[in-house]
Amino acid sequence: MELHEHRRTLVVAGNGMVGHKLLEILVERGATAEWDIVTFCEEGRPAYDRVGLSSFFNGTSADELSLVSPGFFDQLGLTIHMGDAVASIDRQSGEVVSDKGLRIPYEAVVLATGSFPFVPPVPGKDTPGCFVYRTLDDLEAIREYAAGCRVGAVVGGGLLGLEAANALRSLGLDTHVVEFAERLMPVQVDEGGGSVLRRRIEDLGVHVHTGMATTEIVTAKSGGVGAMRFKEGDDLPVDLVVFSAGIRPRDQLARDAGLAVGERGGVVVDDACRTSDPKIFAIGECALYGGRIFGLVSPGYQMARVAADRILGGEAAFTGADMSTKLKLMGIDVASFGDAFATEPGNEAITYRDPVANVYKRLVLGPPDRRGDRKVAGGILVGDAAVYQTLLQMCRGDMPSPKHPEELIFPAGSGAAVPAVGVGALPGTAMVCSCNNVDKGTICAAVAAGCDSVGTIKGITKAGTGCGGCVPLVTDILKDEQGKAGVVVANTLCEHFAYSRQELFDIVRVHRITSFSEVLAAHGTGEGCEICKPAVASMLASLANGHILDGERAALQDTNDHFLANLQRDGTYSVVPRVPGGEITPDQLIALGEVAKEFNLYTKITGGQRIDLFGARVDQLPHIWRRLIDAGMESGHAYGKALRTVKSCVGQTWCRFGVQDSTTLAIDLELRYRGLRAPHKIKGAVSGCTRECAEAQGKDFGVIATEKGWNVYVGGNGGVRPKHAELLAANLDRDTVLRYIDRFLMFYVRTADRLERTAVWLDKLEGGIEYLRRVVIDDVLGICAELEADMARHVDTYECEWKAVVDDPERMERFRTFVNSDEQDPNVVFVTERGQIRPAFDHEKADPALLTIGAKP
């Protein structure tokens, strides 16, 4: 790099997100050729992602939160003083003085000192156990102190307060939020949105108190926090308090230096981000522009861009910022944009509220134009913010508003036609990432240049690296551009159907198709194969019971389903009757033993608490089943991609530790879902206490008893890639357990790929468990009633497939080894091992002395 002889010095006070963004922009624009840039960082760590702070409690490390690329401060012309801060600015001599006594003559200064958390002046606010939520050091201190605590409270129910509450929750504390205003997030949402948000947060187990003024923090005997006292009402016993009641600009440097500051704080800046001293700039949360503090990262970055340009002699101007926000608080979507409160003249609001799904949407429309059309002017979305990006683009004028914008907030299927507004409709100039000023055109160019993932787009364009709110939009643009370029990731079932399993399932469901030949003729090619035939057979079975061997469906089944038994390596089958919940009577055990002896079957206990009988020939199967059915047993569907078992422990019925009747619930669940055909096998379990003897967390659905009810887990499995199930919902009553599992299973049946277990399906589900909760608990898709009805139909029409066979001579006739002879397959031969049969290996078949031929009925 060519260095100018006359070098100038720029001092940047503060290395937070905005201060660091300024350094990056200056470096990128080559400022270090002329400038020595000296920055002071008060904290022990250089810039890190404060927006993502709460992820620190979910395992994200301080290093991962860092915004400083490796080697950044090693560049010539850049100096950072860690653990030191600017103490004063001597405008007379043109020097800054640091806490540690450094004196640095400057040509220009940028104040990026940010803000500090406001702590209301209540008695006891400095008691041990009181914290603020601003820096990584704060979080570390909270984590350390929380280890000995049970109850935590956050003072402040705004955006940051709820972030802090989520953090306390993830630390395992019983969490309270105390808000002075009458609703949560009063700055972003209105009353309707606030009440929906409140209900959703309460559903997560967080206690919300609004309209409460904290008057004192009461000290416990231990010397730490003991309780909170309010203007009205009883004391709230707490062990830890986090103050998050807003921010105040850190403007002391400016005050001391005699710069203009606002009445309620903030360094006054003009649209060049200059303070009242033209050599001194202020950006970010310490700056006051147009009488306003901008407490978001995106406007801060815009200010950094303006200040950098001005320092380098440019003319960029800051003219205020869009305070639109969309965030996910505790998994809940909250968005607020434009004139959210309809305060501008002529603007009017339309609201949509679904108290069942707990969704609130408010759309603000501008005044009608001369044709009577109204443009989107703002809005509030709580619980479902899927339309945020579309509405925001319309609000900004990047995209035309449709004729009836209000239809955008009503759910699909409500009768209002929702216009399909894809990202393809966005012009290239549409702003996608306002944190980093990246428009759609830039992203499209990156895709055209070969970026094929969101990660590479982030790396090249920086889109999505600020607050991260635009990542879904970036993803959609990527897919849209790839689609246009013909890059298609095929997920088709097989050569006969150009559809994924989910798409084909919808075709079969929507068109009420009842046969394979019908779907093949209308939507496929060729004759079908061993992939699509069983897949379609499974769909037909999931959508309407009816015997799987009836009519044409018989030809679709895999051999296991065709013979209603499990094919083994030598061509014989194994038989597994259902043992619901693993509970079996002595008489049934004796009957099983007698059948095994009579037909000379090998017996083994399975992992699902049942008994497997091996070595049955095709022609023996109906005779074996006649006996089992007479003994009161039924098909266990071990041969099907279907519900297998619901394992259980004995629960409180016998166990000293059990807190609920796990066996009864397991039996209820197994009988409810028996015979349900699915993309893959399904296993369940119910444990009677947290000791989890039934291993419910290793199952597709698992239920664990608590003192208060039942916790439901989903998406676990053993097998090749073992995976623990994830908690879907806690402390449910029995009926709710059934309802949620009904919905979960049917949603899985509808949407999973062929041979995809719930664990993989859940992994691939965008949004994961949180999205699943929104679908099966909050019903954001509005399909829960349908899913429950599908399951109810299954439960009502279930019949034992084996009983239907042994009762029907025509079906019985299919169970023959040879269609034209009563002889047996001479190649099925057994040897004896540990007192039971097993198939002979080839070398043993040559030695007649070793062989035992299976006894014939």
Partner 1 sequence: MTVIMSKVWVDVCPLEKLIPGRGVCALVGGLQVAVFRIVGEEIYAISNFDPFSRAFVLSRGIVGSKAERLKVASPIYKQSFDLDTGVCLDDATVSVRTFEVRVEGGIVQVASP
Sequence-separated (6 or more) residues with CB below 8 Å from residue 590: none
* β-bridge pairing 830-833 and 836-839: antiparallel
SS3 content of the chain, % helix, strand, coil (to 5): 35, 20, 45
Asked whether the beta carbons of 725 and 699 are under 8 A apart, the reply is yes
x/- letters, 312..331, toward partner 1 (CB under 8 A): --------------------
CB of 547 to partner 1, least distance (A): 14
Q: Could you say which of 5, 126, 369, 527 contacts partner 1 (CB under 8 A)? A: 527
Q: Could you say which of 158, 466, 534, 716 contacts partner 1 (CB under 8 A)? A: 534
Q: Would you count residue 825 as binding partner 1 (CB under 8 A)?
A: yes
Stretch of 112-120, 472-480, 504-512, 547-555 lying at the interface with partner 1 (CB under 8 A): 547-555
Q: Could you say which of 232, 343, 842, 843 contacts partner 1 (CB under 8 A)? A: 842
Q: Nearer to partner 1 by C-beta: 58 or 525? A: 525
Which of the residues 571 through 590 are near partner 1 (CB under 8 A)?
Answer: 571
Q: How many residues bind partner 1 (CB under 8 A)?
A: 35
Buried b (16+ CB within 10 A) or exposed e, 697-716: bbbbbbbbbeeebbbbbbbb
Type of residue numbered 753:
D
Q: Would you count residue 827 as binding partner 1 (CB under 8 A)?
A: yes
Q: Would you count residue 831 as binding partner 1 (CB under 8 A)?
A: no
Distance CA 62, CA 850 (A): 68
Sequence-separated (6 or more) residues with CB below 8 Å from residue 696: 647, 684, 685, 686, 687, 702, 703, 704, 713, 716, 725
Kindly tell me the burial class for residue 753, based on how many C-beta atoms sit within 10 Å of its own C-beta (0-12, 13-18, 19 or more): middle
Q: Would you count residue 567 as binding partner 1 (CB under 8 A)?
A: yes
- Comparing CA positions, the residue from 776, 332, 748 lying closest to residue 538 is 748
* β-bridge pairing 287-289 and 292-293: antiparallel
Kindly state the DSSP code that residue 470 receives in the 8-state scheme. Answer: T
Stretch of 100-108, 300-308, 550-558, 642-650 lying at the interface with partner 1 (CB under 8 A): 550-558
- Comparing CA positions, the residue from 376, 407, 358, 387 lying closest to residue 472 is 387
* β-bridge pairing 151-155 and 240-243: parallel
Q: Nearer to partner 1 by C-beta: 199 or 547? A: 547
Stretch of 143-151, 294-302, 391-399, 823-831 lying at the interface with partner 1 (CB under 8 A): 823-831
Sequence-separated (6 or more) residues with CB below 8 Å from residue 657: 688, 689, 691
Alpha helices in 485-585 (DSSP H): 501-510, 516-523, 532-543, 559-563
Q: Nearer to partner 1 by C-beta: 126 or 527? A: 527
Q: Would you count residue 518 as binding partner 1 (CB under 8 A)?
A: no
Stretch of 42-50, 558-566, 642-650, 758-766 lying at the interface with partner 1 (CB under 8 A): 558-566
CB of 532 to partner 1, least distance (A): 8
The CA-CA-CA angle for residues 768, 769, 774, to 5°, reads 105
CB of 622 to partner 1, least distance (A): 16
CB of 358 to partner 1, least distance (A): 46
* β-bridge pairing 726-732 and 35-41: unpaired
CB of 638 to partner 1, least distance (A): 16
Stretch of 10-18, 540-548, 561-569, 649-657 lying at the interface with partner 1 (CB under 8 A): 561-569
Distance CA 801, CA 39 (A): 76
Q: Would you count residue 555 as binding partner 1 (CB under 8 A)?
A: yes
Q: Could you say which of 821, 834, 843, 848 contacts partner 1 (CB under 8 A)? A: 821
Q: Could you say which of 85, 181, 554, 851 contacts partner 1 (CB under 8 A)? A: 554
Q: Nearer to partner 1 by C-beta: 136 or 554? A: 554
Q: Could you say which of 55, 652, 817, 836 contacts partner 1 (CB under 8 A)? A: 817
At residue 51, the 3 state secondary structure works out as coil
Q: Would you count residue 823 as binding partner 1 (CB under 8 A)?
A: yes
Q: Could you say which of 562, 672, 773, 774 contacts partner 1 (CB under 8 A)? A: 562
CB of 828 to partner 1, least distance (A): 8
- Comparing CA positions, the residue from 156, 174, 145 lying closest to residue 238 is 174
Q: Nearer to partner 1 by C-beta: 516 or 744? A: 516
Q: Would you count residue 602 as binding partner 1 (CB under 8 A)?
A: no
- As given in the structure block, the two tokens for residue 512 are 């009420």
Q: Would you count residue 843 as binding partner 1 (CB under 8 A)?
A: no
Stretch of 182-190, 366-374, 498-506, 554-562 lying at the interface with partner 1 (CB under 8 A): 554-562
Stretch of 250-258, 291-299, 552-560, 630-638 lying at the interface with partner 1 (CB under 8 A): 552-560
Q: Would you count residue 809 as binding partner 1 (CB under 8 A)?
A: no
Q: Could you say which of 30, 355, 526, 607 contacts partner 1 (CB under 8 A)? A: 526
- Cβ-based neighbour number of residue 146 at 10 Å: 21
Distance CA 465, CA 297 (A): 11
CB of 819 to partner 1, least distance (A): 4
Q: Could you say which of 96, 159, 253, 556 contacts partner 1 (CB under 8 A)? A: 556
Stretch of 21-29, 81-89, 390-398, 560-568 lying at the interface with partner 1 (CB under 8 A): 560-568
Distance CA 118, CA 125 (A): 11
Stretch of 153-161, 699-707, 720-728, 814-822 lying at the interface with partner 1 (CB under 8 A): 814-822
Q: Nearer to partner 1 by C-beta: 558 or 583? A: 558
CB of 462 to partner 1, least distance (A): 48
Sequence-separated (6 or more) residues with CB below 8 Å from residue 766: none
Q: Would you count residue 619 as binding partner 1 (CB under 8 A)?
A: no
Buried b (16+ CB within 10 A) or exposed e, 629-653: bebebbbbbbbbbbbbbbbbbbbbe
Asked whether the beta carbons of 275 and 110 are under 8 A apart, the reply is no
CB of 849 to partner 1, least distance (A): 21
Q: Nearer to partner 1 by C-beta: 539 or 759? A: 539
Q: Nearer to partner 1 by C-beta: 313 or 826? A: 826
Stretch of 218-226, 340-348, 529-537, 771-779 lying at the interface with partner 1 (CB under 8 A): 529-537
Q: What is the DSSP string of 626-684?
A: HHHHHTT--B--TTSSBEEEEEE--GGGT-SS--S-HHHHHHHHHHHHTT-B-SS-EEE
C-alpha dist (Å) from residue 158 to 162, 317, 539: 6, 30, 47
Q: Could you say which of 60, 219, 276, 559 contacts partner 1 (CB under 8 A)? A: 559
Q: What is the DSSP string of 182-220?
A: SSSSTTT--HHHHHHHHHHHHHTT-EEE-S--EEEEEEP
Distance CA 483, CA 339 (A): 35
Q: Could you say which of 137, 495, 587, 630 contacts partner 1 (CB under 8 A)? A: 495
Stretch of 199-207, 254-262, 432-440, 817-825 lying at the interface with partner 1 (CB under 8 A): 817-825
Q: Would you count residue 528 as binding partner 1 (CB under 8 A)?
A: yes
Q: Would you count residue 812 as binding partner 1 (CB under 8 A)?
A: no
Q: Nearer to partner 1 by C-beta: 568 or 836? A: 568
Q: Nearer to partner 1 by C-beta: 433 or 540? A: 540
Which residues are at the interface with partner 1 (CB under 8 A)? 495-496, 526-530, 532-534, 552, 554-560, 562-563, 567, 569-571, 813, 816-821, 823, 825, 827, 842
